[in-house]
């Protein structure tokens, strides 16, 4: 995390450094990111940079924290449109609301997601705690859905969590691949065509898990 000297900077200067880091990680990822390019784009000296951060990994960790804080603030006053929706309806609402959040900070999302997903950092030891929070939440969601008769009770909960996590990441990847091509990312996310695509992606996942009359043969 940044040193106190970074937080002592004027807000405008802090934002300039953040913007430079976001652009660097969005374009080059973490492994190929250049501290010198971040320094040049920030219009600070190398000595100043190391008064603010330990290294580029420290900068990236700060971007992850910023994204998490922004997402938490975004969801703080959001409520599902229907209190009686089933588990899959609620999950669909989370995904679509999350997409709207992503479109409000697309470049930051692109920078963080490129490193976490494309470079596999999300699955490493460092982010194990954060990933566990996600998987625990999904596990509770699936368990509750089984109890409510919405999910096939023969489903392996851990595998179901893996499917939902993978699907969430697939939708994030779709956002990054297609949405970032658009000049107005928010308009693209809210367009009927994009909403239909998300619905189709979620449909494939949902009906692989949902309880049906003819799921498996008795001897399967």
Where do you find CATH 1.10.357.10 in the chain?
Answer: 78-209
In CATH, which of 1.10.3720.10, 1.10.357.10, 3.40.50.10860, 3.90.550.10 is domain 78-209?
1.10.357.10
Q: What are phi and psi of 210, to 5 degrees?
A: -65, 145
Candidate CATH numbers 3.90.1150.10, 3.30.420.40, 3.40.220.10, 1.10.10.60; the one for domain 4-61? 1.10.10.60
- With bands split at pLDDT 50, 70 and 90, how would you rate the model's confidence at 124? confident
Contacts 24+ apart (CB under 8 A), 73-82: 74/101, 74/104, 75/101
**pLDDT at residue 217, rounded to an integer:** 45
State yes or no: pLDDT of 220 exceeds 70: no
68-119 residue pLDDT tens: 999 999 999 999 888 888 888 888 899 889 888 988 888 999 899 889 888 8
* pLDDT the model gives residue 47: 96
Rounded average pLDDT over 159-173: 84
pLDDT tier for residue 218 given thresholds of 50, 70 and 90: very low
pTM, two decimal places: 0.81
Sign for the CA dihedral angle at 165, 99, 61, 170 comes to positive
Whole-angstrom Cα distance, residue 60 to residue 43?
A: 18
Distance, in Å, from the CA atom of 149 to the CA atom of 210, rounded to the nearest integer, reads 9
Contact yes or no for 99/175 (Cβ under 8 A): yes
Outline which parts of the chain fall under CATH 1.10.10.60. 4-61
């Amino acid at each position: 995390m940044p040193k106190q000297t970074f937080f002592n900077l004027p807000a405008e200067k802090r934002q300039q450094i953040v913007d430079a880091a976001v652009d660097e990680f969005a374009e080059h990822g973490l492994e190929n990111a250049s501290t010198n390019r971040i320094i040049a784009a920030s219009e600070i000296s190398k000595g100043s940079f190391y008064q603010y951060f330990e290294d580029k990994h420290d900068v990236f960790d700060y971007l992850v924290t910023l994204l998490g804080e922004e997402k938490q603030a975004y969801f703080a006053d959001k409520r599902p449109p229907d209190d009686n929706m089933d588990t899959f309806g609620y999950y669909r609402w989370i995904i679509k609301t999350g997409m709207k959040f992503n479109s409000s900070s697309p470049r930051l999302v692109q920078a963080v997601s490129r490193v976490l997903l494309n470079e596999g950092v999300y699955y490493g030891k460092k982010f194990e705690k954060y990933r566990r929070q996600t998987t625990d939440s999904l596990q509770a969601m699936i368990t509750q859905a089984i109890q409510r008769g919405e999910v096939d009770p023969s489903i392996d909960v851990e595998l179901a969590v893996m499917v939902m996590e993978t699907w969430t990441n697939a939708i994030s990847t779709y956002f990054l691949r297609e949405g970032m091509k658009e000049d107005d990312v928010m308009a693209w996310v809210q367009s009927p065509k994009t909403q239909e695509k998300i619905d189709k992606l979620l449909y494939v996942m949902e009906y692989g898990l949902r309880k049906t009359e003819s799921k498996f043969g008795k001897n399967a």
